[in-house]
Amino acid sequence: MTSLWFAHAQTFVWMLRSVPEGVAEYEARGWTTFEHTVSDMLTESCKLMDFGDYDEETCTSWFQTSQICTEARRPPLVPEAFAADLATKVFTKEADRSIVENLYSQTFAEIMGACKVLKYKGSGWTMRQIATYANSLAHCTRANTLSLTMNTVGSNAGEEPLAAVSLAENLPKCIKLRRCLMRACRIGDRDIAILAPAMSHCKNLTTLNLMDNLIGPDGVKALAIALPDFPHLRQLILAGNIIGEVGATLLAEYVPKSESLLELWLTGCGDLGNGELLLKEAWKKSGKAASDLHLNKHRATGSTASGACRTPTSRSTRGT
């Protein structure tokens, strides 16, 4: 089926958006809308090209052409959302409308239902686009890894936390999810307070990477309280957040209550103060390996060593 060619992760998709005068625009047509939307499911942006942007004067090499013509990847649409969009498009043969709608539903089910790794790192999605994408997760019944790294999950002050709310509703429906990677997603206290209780219902989750976000003591409290409810969480990465002494103290209180947690990263989280000692003691009393508690290194004087922030390098966190 040709739709699977467009959807395949290794297919390069070239679009010709420029059309002759009198011809319906690319974005207005039903079949091209189908082909483009199917391509968004798994195709990386570097393999999605719009040659309507081609210019002979500036596109003098493949490198320059790829820079100019690369198309931003959009979030996959659930069949209901695609059908609503398709209703605004035109067909030369109106009978094709129902054919395309059914074909998309079939393709979506086959692709998203079979995919094991959902990798959308650096797609540049907004909070609203993440909220749209989250609706797809219930259909990803075989997915074990989700990477939303370097997309905007977090909300600004005064904004509705659309992404956090939608992810909280749908992540537990991704029933085989083991690794959730949301590094540098601008996740703040309000967002993680919504996400943490819901993510504790992800029954197979073993790795949660929240590195380089904006999580402060209030957010850490919400996450810490939820920790004992994660049935299989083994690795929690909070490096590069604003944890501080208050956050470290809260973690010291709740970490012993999480029997599954075996590895915790808090490098680059500011001065942990007395919370660092409390956390070390709690970690040791829980019978967890000291080498798996990653904190800021200190000089002999006790001051934080410059450049001593370590980055998670274990096998399960590479490429996040």
Token pair listed for 201: 């219902």
How many domains in the chain?
A: 2
Cβ–Cβ under 8 Å, residues 134 and 106: no
User: What residue type is 134 in one-letter code?
Assistant: A
Token pair listed for 216: 């402060």
Say yes or no: 64 and 135 in one domain.
Answer: no
Per-residue pLDDT of 274-302, as tens digits, reads 999 999 999 999 999 999 999 986 433 33
Residue found under tokens 């990263």: 265
Say yes or no: 202 and 99 in one domain.
Answer: no
Cβ–Cβ under 8 Å, residues 309 and 296: yes
pLDDT of residue 308: 44
SS3 assignment, position 118: strand
Per-residue pLDDT of 137-177, as tens digits, reads 999 999 999 999 999 999 999 999 999 999 999 999 999 99
SS3 assignment, position 183: coil
Say yes or no: 98 and 147 in one domain.
Answer: no
Say yes or no: 107 and 129 in one domain.
Answer: no
Cβ–Cβ under 8 Å, residues 69 and 49: yes
Helix spans in 143-216 (H): 162-170, 189-199
Q: Which of 114-118, 234-238, 301-305, 311-315 has the lowest mean pLDDT?
A: 301-305
Q: Which helix or strand (DSSP H or E) is residue 80 part of?
A: helix 79-86
Say yes or no: 189 and 89 in one domain.
Answer: no
Q: Give me the domain span that covers residue 70.
A: 1-114
pLDDT of residue 40: 79
- Model's pTM, two decimal places? 0.85
**What is the phi/psi pair of residue 73, to 5°?**
-80, 135
pLDDT of residue 69: 60
Say yes or no: 171 and 61 in one domain.
Answer: no
pLDDT of residue 210: 98
